[in-house]
Amino acid sequence: MYENAVLLSLPENDKLSGVGFLHQVSVNEAFQCHTHDFFEFFYVLKGKAIHDINGQKMVLSQGMLVFIRPADVHHYSFINNYDMEMISIGVECGLIQSTCDFLGMDIQEFVRPYLPP
């Protein structure tokens, strides 16, 4: 089903801090079907789009904050005449694990469910 998914990594210059970001002003700028070796948070600045994540489609709209795990496979597509602008923040797995450890949380609560919380 997702045999064509591309594995994305943080760019080398972002690996220094363990965090990177990307501002995308259109669904056309988003990567096709992909997964990562890092966690991702993205915030929809404006517009709407379809988000296909792990085979389930959901509508994204302005103001939504979405959490994506390394094993999640996802991509975006247009919905009607809308487009979408978003900011994506990639965070290396070790930083998320350290944060969970510091807060006394089990990272499995985030990675175990089929869809991200």
Residue 21 contacts residue 87 (beta carbons within 8 Å): yes
Q: What is the dihedral of CA 61, 62, 67, 71, to 10 degrees?
A: 40
pLDDT in tens, 23-43: 999 999 988 999 999 999 999
Counts for the chain of helices (H) and strands (E), in that order: 3, 8
Residue 4 CA to residue 15 CA, distance in Å, equals: 25
pLDDT for 2 beyond 70: no
What residues are paired with 66 via a beta bridge? 42
Of 33, 54, 30, the closest CA to residue 42 belongs to 30
Q: Looking at residue 46, what is its pLDDT? A: 97
Does this model's pTM top 0.85? My answer is yes
Q: Pick the residue with more confidence: 69 or 3? A: 69
pLDDT in tens, 56-76: 999 999 999 999 999 899 999
Residue 82 CA to residue 50 CA, distance in Å, equals: 10
* Mean pLDDT, the chain, whole residue set: 93
Only one residue has tokens 């085979």, namely 55
